[in-house]
């Protein structure tokens, strides 16, 4: 009797662990990351954001975070044409809280600039290419392998333990 009780407990624990494992794998796949523009430099004059952007990978689900003193700068999400001459155009989306979060919702190019004074002309501008969530990096294929492994383990447990 005692043995069967222990075995029941072990089965439940194993199932619970497998379920927790599966859940965490799934959540890792869906979560995007916060990308602080300029890293520790934040959003300011005297920093090369074009060069900065070229070192980063942006994908759907990520969020750009612009940190700056409210009132000293702003963030304008503009068209490619407006970007070229540092204008905002009529369809610009404006942010000015000083802690602006810009979710990257669709794949494609996005252009950002600061429209205060001559800040844009002086380097507060950059372009990014947002990649689809699936193809942004090699990691998802690893996650898929881990996911498949978990499914196999779960199937195995269903056959032998339940
Ligand atoms: Cu500025």
The predicted-structure confidence for 88-110, as pLDDT tens digits, reads as follows: 988 999 999 999 999 999 999 99
Domain that holds residue 45: 34-131
Q: Find the 131 Cα to ligand 1 centroid distance in Å.
A: 27
Q: Percent of the chain having pLDDT more than 90?
A: 61
- Is residue 153 a part of any domain in this protein? no
Q: Find the 117 Cα to ligand 1 centroid distance in Å.
A: 7
- Distance separating alpha carbons of residues 56 and 54, to the nearest angstrom: 6
Bridge partners (DSSP) listed for residue 42: none
- Is residue 38 a part of any domain in this protein? yes
Q: Find the 123 Cα to ligand 1 centroid distance in Å.
A: 9
pTM over 0.85: no
- Is residue 120 a part of any domain in this protein? yes
Strands 93-95 and 75-78, how do they pair?
Answer: antiparallel
Residue 160 CA neighbour count, 13 Å, CB half: 9
Instruction: Note whether 104 and 61 are within 8 A (CB).
Output: yes
Q: Find the 52 Cα to ligand 1 centroid distance in Å.
A: 16
Q: Find the 136 Cα to ligand 1 centroid distance in Å.
A: 30
pLDDT for 136: 45
Per residue in 25-45, pLDDT tens? 555 555 799 999 999 999 999
Instruction: Note whether 98 and 67 are within 8 A (CB).
Output: yes
């Amino acid at each position: 009797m005692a043995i069967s009780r222990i075995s029941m407990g072990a089965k439940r624990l194993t199932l619970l662990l497998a379920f927790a494992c599966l859940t965490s794998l799934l959540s890792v796949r869906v979560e995007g990351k916060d990308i602080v523009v300029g890293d520790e430099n934040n959003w300011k004059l005297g920093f090369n954001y074009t060069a900065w952007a070229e070192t980063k990978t942006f994908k759907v689900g990520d969020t750009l975070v612009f940190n700056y003193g409210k009132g000293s700068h702003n963030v304008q999400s503009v068209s490619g044409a407006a970007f070229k001459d540092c204008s905002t155009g009529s369809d610009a989306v404006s942010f000015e809280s000083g802690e602006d979060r810009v979710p990257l919702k669709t794949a494609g190019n996005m252009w950002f600039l600061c429209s205060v004074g001559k800040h844009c002309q002086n380097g507060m501008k950059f372009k990014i290419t947002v990649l689809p969530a699936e193809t942004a990096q090699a990691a998802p294929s690893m996650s898929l392998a881990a996911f498949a492994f978990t499914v196999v383990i779960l199937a195995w447990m269903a056959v032998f333990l339940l």
